[in-house]
């Protein structure tokens, strides 16, 4: 079964306090949903139309698990804490089987 991944690229952080509140809630929510943080870095080399920005990569055992973790009450609480504190590109993608 193909794995699932959360890919989140932070375009701008306008409220570091909201991001800190989100991180405090999101970490346990991700772990409870079966996610494993593979990368949480600000060290990025971008090519083509890419932008060198903070990028987070989280792996789940399946695409369905990744979607369910995002929809969980615990993660939704984290998103509410984040609100408009950042501008980010967030995607859930399916890995190759």
Q: Give the list of residues 6+ apart from residue 11 with CB closer than 8 angstroms, or none.
A: 51, 53, 86, 87, 88, 89
d(CA 46, CA 43): 10
Cα-based distances in Å from 48 to 9, 10, 51, 86: 16, 18, 9, 24
State the alpha helices, DSSP H only, in 1-97. Answer: 16-32, 63-71, 73-82
Q: What is the pTM of this model?
A: 0.91
d(CA 63, CA 79): 20
Structural domain boundaries in the chain? 4-94
Sign of CA dihedral 62, 77, 79, 43: negative
Residue 52, pLDDT score: 87
CATH of the domain spanning 4-94 = 3.30.70.100
Residue 51, pLDDT score: 85
pLDDT tens digits for range 22-79? 999 999 999 999 999 999 987 888 899 888 888 999 999 999 999 999 999 999 999 9
pLDDT band at 88 (very low <50, low <70, confident <90, very high): very high
């Amino acid at each position: 079964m193909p794995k699932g991944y959360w890919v989140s690229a932070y375009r701008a952080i306008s409220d570091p306090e909201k991001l800190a509140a989100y991180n405090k809630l999101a970490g346990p929510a991700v772990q409870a949903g079966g996610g494993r943080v593979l990368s949480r870095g600000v060290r990025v080399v971008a090519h083509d139309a890419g932008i060198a920005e903070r990028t987070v990569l989280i792996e789940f055992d399946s695409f369905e698990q990744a979607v369910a973790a995002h929809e969980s009450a615990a993660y939704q609480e984290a998103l509410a804490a984040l609100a408009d504190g950042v501008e980010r590109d967030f995607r859930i993608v399916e890995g190759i089987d």
